Every structure is written in C-alpha cells, then in structure tokens.
Structure 1
Amino acid sequence: MERSGDNRTVPAEHSSPPPPNSSGRRPHRHERQRSRKKRKVISSETETRIQIQTLRPSSYTHRRTNSYVQKQGNSRKKPRKPQCQRKWTYSTHDVSNYNDRFVIVSYNILGVENATKHPELYRGVSPKYLDWGHRKKLLCKEVKDYQASILCFQEVDHFNDLKEILGSDGFRGLHKARSGETRDGCAIFWKTEQFTLLHEESIEFQRFGLRNNVAQFCVLKMNQDLPSTGVTARPPCPSTSRNFLVGNIHVLYNPKRGDIKLGQMRIFLEKAYELSQEWGCIPVVITGDLNSLPQSAMYQFLASSKLHIQQYDRRHVSGQIFPSEYAESQSRRNRITRPLMNRWTNEEIMLATGSRLSVLRHHLKLCSAYAGVPVR
C-alpha cells in the first residue's frame, strides 16, 4: 500500500486486495504477514532445491567430493575398545635361589565339541565368539604374550590346528585323547630351542574304573642356553640333572563324585613320583584342570600330601558346591551328625584310596602356585 500527498490511502500499482479467509472476512494484518512469510520460506526452499538439483558437478569435482566424504567417514570411526587384560596376583614365594627359570602356562581351552553340545552353558555368549576359527587365533596370541616356554592344554580336540599355529613359533607338542566317545584330551607343547623331549607317557583312567579322563607326562631336558624368563619348582631331593617332569591332567568334572576325583589324582601323583625316581629324582611340575577350588579337600591333599577322606562329604571334596546346594547342605548339617553325613561306601573308599583304608597319601613335596597369594 502507498499513501498519497493528501494522506489518503490508495491502492498500489499491481496490487490486489488480500483474499478473504474461509469465514468470509478479510485476514487480519498479522495473518497476512505470516502468510507472506510462509510463502517466502517455501519459495526459498524451492529455489534452493532447484539450484542444487541443476548444479551438476564435473568429474573432477565429483572425485574431490567423494574423497572428502571418505576422509570425513574415516575421521568419524568409533574408537576401538581397549582389549581386556588379566590382572595378575603375584606370589610372595622367594625364588631368588633358583638358577633355571621359565614360564609354564596351563589352560582349559574349551573343546569345540563341548561348546557345541552344551549351548545352555553359554547363553550370554555370541556364537561368533565360540567359533573355533575365531578362538584359536586369540588363544595362541594370548599365550604368546606370556612368553611361555611350556604350554599345557586341556579339552583339546583340534590338536593339529594348534600344532600348526604354535609350530610357527617354535613349539612342538604331544596330544593324548580321551577314551570313549568324547575325543578331546590333553596336550603339552614346549619350545624346541629351550627343551629336548626325553620320555613321554600317558594314563587312561578308564583302565582303573575311573571314567574316561586322561593324563600325560613329558620328561624334558633344559638346553644349556635356556633364557631366564620364569620360575621352576624346587627339586624334592638333591639333583644336578637339568631334566624335569611335566604332568598334565584333566580331572572329572562331576562335583558329586569326589571319590573318582581323588582316585584320578592319586594315580596321577603316584605315576609322577615313579617317573621322577626313575630319572634320578628329577623335579616335578604338576599342571591341569583339577576341577577343584583352592582350600578344598582336593587342594589340601595336594599341598599336605595326606587326606582323611571320611572327614569330608564326598560331594564337596572339590569345593564345587552350587548356591542352591549350599543351603541344602547347611540344613542337613543341622539335622544329621557328621559321621553319618560323611559316610562313604567301601566301593567309594576303594576308588579314592586304592585300598580299604580311608587315609590318602602321596610322596611328592609340592609347592602350590597359590602359596603366598592372599585369599580373597
């Protein structure tokens, strides 16, 4: 609108009166402003869209644009999560008087068949992390970071894969498969540059009526140029030999069969002592998956060389008691006297001790890896 000189309002050129709204009245001044503003915004967006659509970049500009987007994409990648690392607790055991030192690693690597047959145990684990192709690389990488000289594995059912990977790092290994239908077993690997294999033996516990678990032994000789990277165990008797014995065992899992667990360990330790004596009272290193907890009756037997088995409940020898069973066992303790609760049959005593006596013994003087480690 424009104003004339006599202050009268006249229509502007090319101007048309605003259209009435749906109610028939003309729109208010504020409504007209909002309408013009809205039309202006829409027009601006339309013109901008058209301008972008009609602007065709040249091939050079296109390459530059793609390159820029690629760089932007790389810069926006999410940072990798730091890898989980174990927090080690070191023993206070004094090893300053030992000359020969090396690192031994013992691992239950979870057999592929066991992981497949028991998915209920790994419900919170993604299948890709249970895949053997994925796990074997991570496993070998981790043990390599430990700079170990000897590796003792349990639940090994793909020995050739480990043999190939670890062989490239200078390891040689032996495998003992379980008897029966399950084919996983134990394996020992050692650095050929540092050790020479002198003798090897194995045990099939099925021959003693103690299930189909197995154990294995290797008599190794330390080469003269052995580097100092770890700790060995003190010999049970004076010996100038650079030979030593490594034993590897996978004890029965079933927590309720403490008689079989003790029987397997008894035969294993008897054989270890026998081989040690045959080779000149050489040092013994015991490794494996004992399916037992520290401070359990099984642990006490290893550490003290003696155990009165009838002082313990057969089902709790390994310390593997589940929370639901713990409440039940505590309730039974209040109702039943100890001798009756810990009663063993003659067959169970025979399996555990190999005789009618209820006292179990072994002749090795073992120093536990848990010695000096604070109990949490």
Structure 2
Amino acid sequence: QEVQSDHFYSSLLPALEALGFGYLYAPKTREIFTDKYCEEGCAILYRKSRFSVVDSFTIEFDAHAKDSARYQGARNTKQRNRLSKGNVALACLLEDSRCGGRPLGIVNTHITADVDAGDVKLWQAMCMLEVVQGWSNSQNGVLPIIMCGDFNSTPESAVYELLTTGRLSPSSIPDDPYGILPPVSQMHHSLPLRSIYPAVVNSEATYT
C-alpha cells in the first residue's frame, strides 16, 4: 500500500522483475499534492514461476459512492463528497502451479487514514467486502482469500470487528454525521476471515 507510482516503475519494478516477480498495480483515483505531484496506489506482486493471473479487478470506492442509488440526488451531495477519498482496493485470482492450478484470491487495499472519518473507513471496508463476497460466490467451490491492507484501524474498531467476525454490534458503529451508513443489520458478510497476527506472533497488532 501507498506505493508511489514513479518510485514503483522507475526503481522497484525493474528490481522485482529481475527476481522473477509479476505485478498488478492500481493507483488511487485522487492525486495527492505536496511540494510536487505525487500519485500512489496498491500493488500485488507474485512469483511468476509459481503463479499465473487468471482474473483481476480494481474497486474504486469513489465510483461506488457515485453509482450507488443511496447517494443519488442533489440532497446527497454532502454524502458523496464525504465518501470521496480516492482510496482503492486491488484484487486478483491466481492459479498455483504447485497445487494443480488451485485458485487463490488476493485482495489488497488502503483504507482512508482520516482520523475523523470512522464512518468512511467502515463504509469502504463494507463496500470492499460486498464486492469480494460476490466475487468469491461466483467461483466454483470455496475460494481461499488472503486479504491484505493498510486499514488505518485498531482491533477495537468497527472495521476490525466487521472484517474478523462478519457482523457488527450496534455499540461499535462510529459517528455517522452524514447518514452514509446503512442499518447495522445490513452490514455483514460470510467470508471466513481471521487476523494472521495471533497465529504468527501470538498477539494482535495494535494498529493496522
């Protein structure tokens, strides 16, 4: 995540390709301006000797907000502006040649870092999960998925709760000043996602 485009293509990619890696890259849909123009996004890298890309797509959260019937009309302009952060998610379906072509889904995202936008963080996570759920359901059988990301969230957050439990308790819902979130009963998924931190380092990350 936060892979700066010019650095990626000029420095990182040549070195990674020399090591046998293939790549997918999705820039954010809104540019960042500091002292000079800068564009960044999400990348997925895979070893070409083992994996091949069967399918890939980008989830543009701004586009989902603009296309959603929930946020149409002049009266919802503030909602659409609230959701316009430029963040994206990148997903691909890989085939593993060492496992007889077994499919593996990879998802990578960068959720908004705005500390005053817990509602937008949750909406972006919910939007991503809805798309990935449909993608998973469209595959034959059960599709194993590795979901990576900079979620800018803590283990106590609504984003973490939704990702790891598939549902939300009413007390977890963040402030929603513009009414962008649906009822809590509609925020759920059935993807069997779990955090990898406890299994690897015996404790949860304090922030991710």
| 8 Å contact from structure 2 (residues 51, 94) kept in 1 | yes
| 8 Å contact from structure 2 (residues 2, 110) kept in 1 | yes
Which whole-Å deviations, capped at 9, do the CAs of 1:45-84 have from their partners, x for residues lacking one? xxxxxxxxxxxxxxxxxxxxxxxxxxxxxxxxxxxxxxxx
Q: Take 1:252 and 1:154, find their aligned partners in 2: how far apart are those partners?
A: 11
Match of 2:57 among 195, 201, 204: 201
Which whole-Å deviations, capped at 9, do the CAs of 1:67-125 have from their partners, x for residues lacking one? xxxxxxxxxxxxxxxxxxxxxxxxxxxxxxxxxxxxxxxxxxxxxxxxxxxxxxxxxxx
Match of 2:95 among 216, 221, 227: 221
After superposition, residues 210-289 of structure 1 pair within 5 angstroms as: 210=83, 211-224=85-98, 242-280=102-140, 281-289=142-150
**Cα RMSD, aligned residues only:** 2.1
Q: Take 1:205 and 1:374, find their aligned partners in 2: how far apart are those partners?
A: 31
Asked if residue 366 in structure 1 is aligned to residue 197 in structure 2, the reply is no
Name the counterpart of 1:178. 28
- By percentage of residues, which structure has more strand? 2
State the one-letter code of the partner of 1:273.
Answer: Q
State the one-letter code of the partner of 2:161.
Answer: Q
Indicate the SS of the match to 1:167: helix
| Matched length | 175
| 8 Å contact from structure 1 (residues 159, 175) kept in 2 | no
Identify the range of structure 1 (204-213 vs 167-176) with the bigger mean alpha-carbon deviation: 204-213
Indicate the SS of the match to 1:361: coil
After superposition, residues 92-111 of structure 1 pair within 5 angstroms as: none
Structure 2 residue runs of 5 or longer lacking an equivalent are 33-38, 66-79
TM-score (norm 2): 0.76
Indicate the SS of the match to 1:366: coil
Q: Take 1:363 and 1:296, find their aligned partners in 2: how far apart are those partners?
A: 19
Which whole-Å deviations, capped at 9, do the CAs of 1:13-71 have from their partners, x for residues lacking one? xxxxxxxxxxxxxxxxxxxxxxxxxxxxxxxxxxxxxxxxxxxxxxxxxxxxxxxxxxx
C-alpha spacing 1:245/1:313, structure 2 compared with 1 (3 Å): closer
Indicate the SS of the match to 1:299: helix
Q: Take 2:124 and 2:139, find their aligned partners in 1: how far apart are those partners?
A: 23
| 8 Å contact from structure 2 (residues 158, 173) kept in 1 | no
After superposition, residues 294-373 of structure 1 pair within 5 angstroms as: 294-308=155-169, 310-312=170-172, 314=174, 344-345=176-177, 347-348=178-179, 351-352=180-181, 355=182, 357-359=183-185, 360-372=187-199, 373=202
| 8 Å contact from structure 1 (residues 154, 249) kept in 2 | no
Greater length-normalized contact order (CA 8 Å, ≥ 6 residues apart): 2
Q: Take 1:273 and 1:217, find their aligned partners in 2: how far apart are those partners?
A: 12
Structure 1 residue runs of 5 or longer lacking an equivalent are 1-152, 227-239, 315-341
Q: Determine what percentage of the aligned residue pairs are the same residue.
A: 28
| 8 Å contact from structure 1 (residues 200, 219) kept in 2 | yes
C-alpha spacing 1:154/1:181, structure 2 compared with 1 (3 Å): closer
Name the counterpart of 2:152. 291
Superposition deviation, residue 313 in structure 1: 6.3
C-alpha spacing 1:171/1:262, structure 2 compared with 1 (3 Å): same
